[in-house]
Amino acid sequence: MTAPDRYAVFGQPINHSKSPRIHALFAAQTGQNLSYTAQEVGPAEFDQTVTDFFAAGGKGLNCTVPLKELAFRLADRLTPRAQRAKAVNTLWRDAEHGLSGDNTDGLGLIADLTVNHGLALGGQRLLLLGAGGASRGVIAPLLEHQPAQLLIANRTVDKAAAIAAEFADLGAIAACGYPDLTGRQFDLIINATSASLGQKLPPLPSGLLAAGGACYDMAYAKLATPFVTWGQAQAARLSLDGIGMLVEQAAAAFEIWRGVRPDSRAVIALLNQERGGAAS
Ligand code: ATR
């Protein structure tokens, strides 16, 4: 049997990454001969480690926090959505184009919201919490669905205002601080802050979620994140964490690399079963 094609995810920290398991499940499903490992790589050694990986015959990389902006700068060629996000989570090389970069995060979020959970985005009032790299990757794909409004709330209001200005050509987008949210209502609230990672919650007023509305935390954890718990306390119709988005962005990367679409929903179901039931 020939040696497996090599893939990896680089990030810092990386030890709890679920990507090796997800890609191993995809490979088994589709009969692809590949290996996928997680490697701790910091910003200082990123460029050299990527160069060495491909020089040694590596086929493709995922990049996660805090490397997505560096991957964007390193790529010779970018897909339009990576260009727009100014962040790259998927790299591969070919003789014709050199190092190519794409961003499958937005696609992953949209697939999980609309296909897996049947949530409509068109005409809806959307609130996106946070104005960092995680938000940047999902704004254009959300606006493509023509929500009635996409409001970006951030602790540092200037950062939200700068992002809203950058994407204003794509649709109805605005920015504010958390205190400005009082008295407003949204059909879908998406948490793209890094607060969940520290078991924290952005300062959200109660009454923010419209009746029948949904909450989505782009972070995920074995137990419910503080934002998922908050959504449940607001009587959200659905209060989800980002495990589905993680699997869907991985499925899109797998398809770019291998030309085969894996069954993402089977993998989401398995991961949820392993952690003892899905956050809902
Ligand atoms: P990422 O690439 O994960 O988005 P980032 O660029 O460091 O990481 O951005 C983190 C985001 O989470 C920011 O929007 C940050 O708010 P500020 O810009 O005001 O710093 C937000 N954030 C982090 N911890 C938070 C908390 N406890 N409450 C509210 N927002 C928080």
Cα–ligand 1 centroid distance for 198 (angstroms): 11
Among protein residues, the one whose CA lies closest to atom 27 of ligand 1: 195
How many whole angstroms separate alpha carbon 229 and alpha carbon 241?
Answer: 10
pLDDT at res. 95: 82
Among protein residues, the one whose CA lies closest to atom 25 of ligand 1: 195
How many whole angstroms separate alpha carbon 99 and alpha carbon 105?
Answer: 19
Q: Give CA angle at 111 (110, 116), nearest 5°.
A: 125
The full DSSP string for 215-259 is EEESS--SSPPHHHHHHHHTT-SEEE-THHHHHHHHHHHHHHHHS
Beta bridge partners of 65: none
How many whole angstroms separate alpha carbon 58 and alpha carbon 91?
Answer: 11
Pocket of ligand 1 (CB under 6 A): 65, 130-134, 154-156, 159, 193-195, 200, 202
How many whole angstroms separate alpha carbon 106 and alpha carbon 263?
Answer: 18
pLDDT at res. 89: 97
Cα–ligand 1 centroid distance for 169 (angstroms): 24
Query: Residue 130: which region, alpha, beta or left (left: phi > 0; alpha: psi -120 to 50)?
Result: left
Cα–ligand 1 centroid distance for 177 (angstroms): 13
Tokens 């993998």 identify what position? 267
**Domains of the chain listed by start with CATH number:** 5-103+244-274 (3.40.50.10860), 106-243 (3.40.50.720)
Counting from 1 in the atom list of ligand 1, the atom nearest the Cα of 159 is 18
How many whole angstroms separate alpha carbon 56 and alpha carbon 49?
Answer: 11
pLDDT tens by residue, 164-203: 999 999 999 999 999 999 999 999 999 999 998 889 999 9
pTM: 0.95
Contact (Cβ atoms closer than 8 angstroms) between residue 227 and residue 201: yes
Beta bridge partners of 100: 77, 92
How many whole angstroms separate alpha carbon 279 and alpha carbon 271?
Answer: 12
Task: Give the residue numbers marked as catalytic.
Answer: 68
pLDDT at res. 277: 59
Residues of the chain where predicted confidence (pLDDT) is lower than 50: none
In 3D space, the residue among 109, 5, 3, 20 whose CA is nearest the CA of residue 62 turns out to be 20
Among protein residues, the one whose CA lies closest to atom 24 of ligand 1: 195
Cα–ligand 1 centroid distance for 158 (angstroms): 13
Ligand 1 mutation pick, 67, 194, 225, max ligand atoms within 8 A of CB: 194
Ligand 1 mutation pick, 86, 155, 178, 197, max ligand atoms within 8 A of CB: 155
pLDDT tens by residue, 102-119: 999 999 999 999 999 999
Non-local CB neighbours of 28 within 8 Å, separated by 6+ positions: none
